Amino acid sequence: MTKSAIKPLALIVGVGDATGKAVCTELASHYRLAMVARSTKVIDPLAASLTQAKAYPCDVTNRDAWVSTLKEIRAEMGLPDYILVNTEGGGWGDYTQIAIADFSNSFEVNVVSLLLLIQTLFPDTKTKTQLSHNCRIVISSSPAAYLSIPLFLGIAPSRAAQRVLAETLDTAINDVDFCILSIDGAIDEPNMRKAYPQKDNDFFIKPTAIAKHIRELFEDQTFDRNAKISTSSN
């Protein structure tokens, strides 16, 4: 295969059985895939069923392991052309109920791991990344990144910090562009179905719709810094 014929590489961080799996399936025909998840439960079968896809099990809160995994991906597959950060960390409840360990972990998952990703893959802010175009990074987020309401207390601080970090890095690094994708609604997956048992099918945002939206963000001529998908746009 000639260099020009090599498919672009998409790094998908946080591949679960809903959105992450749908994104990998959506991208598989046109991208090589590096898939990261804490468990091999989803990424191993995907790697076996999709062409040019490889599983990299890693807990992004293990800083040393995360850096090593990123270096391994770059050595084996090259520098990603596209990145989806689909990690989630946080807790629910009012301020008296939020466990400090969960609160702290949300910053490890949403903020620290993102900075480590950038420091490892793009260590020089002035050197060209040697890609055919800017690397596009989509961060799967929620209205909690923008709204400070009691319901979001366990997740909003780290989501807001993640957004601010991404927006700051967007201006600091050549050839790397960031987008915050706010998923405004309940994703159609088992836990959400249990949380809203009385809701009908149209209430839930389908993972396939999110996956198509992410592919559009990767491929559209204009790369929005702030994007949104909701039930009404599903």
Task: Tell me the mean pLDDT per 10 residues along the chain, length 234.
Answer: 73 96 96 97 97 97 98 96 91 80 93 97 67 83 87 89 96 92 91 88 94 96 90 74
Parallel/antiparallel/unpaired status of strands 82-85 and 9-13: parallel
Half-sphere exposure at residue 206, Cβ-oriented, CA atoms within 13 angstroms: 10
Token readout for 43 is 């990424």
User: Distance of alpha carbon 217 from its chain centroid, rounded?
Assistant: 13
Spatial distance between the Cα atoms of 157 and 102, rounded to a whole number of angstroms? 12
CATH of domain 3-233: 3.40.50.720
> For position 2, what pLDDT does the model report?
45
Spatial distance between the Cα atoms of 189 and 18, rounded to a whole number of angstroms? 6
Q: Which amino acid is at 59?
A: D
> For position 130, what pLDDT does the model report?
53
Q: For 123-173, how does the pLDDT look when each residue is reduced to its tens digit (9 = 90+)?
A: 875 555 555 568 999 999 999 899 878 878 888 999 999 999 999 999 998
pTM as predicted:
0.92
Parallel/antiparallel/unpaired status of strands 32-37 and 82-85: unpaired
SS3 of 93, please?
Answer: coil
SS3 of 215, please?
Answer: helix
Spatial distance between the Cα atoms of 224 and 27, rounded to a whole number of angstroms? 19
| Residue from 207, 91, 202, 58 nearest 157 by CA | 91
| Residue from 149, 153, 187, 195 nearest 22 by CA | 187
| Domain boundaries, given as residue ranges, for the chain | 3-233
Which of left, alpha, beta for 86 (phi over 0: left; psi -120 to 50: alpha)?
alpha
| Residue from 53, 40, 45 nearest 12 by CA | 53
* Start-end of H helices in 140-206: 156-172, 190-195
> For position 190, what pLDDT does the model report?
87
Rg, Å, the chain Cα set: 17
> Which residue is listed with tokens 């090593």?
68
Asked if 111 and 88 touch (Cβ cutoff 8 Å), the reply is: no
> For position 221, what pLDDT does the model report?
87
38 CB contacts (<8 Å, ≥6 apart)? 57, 58, 59, 60
> For position 109, what pLDDT does the model report?
96
SS3 of 144, please?
Answer: helix
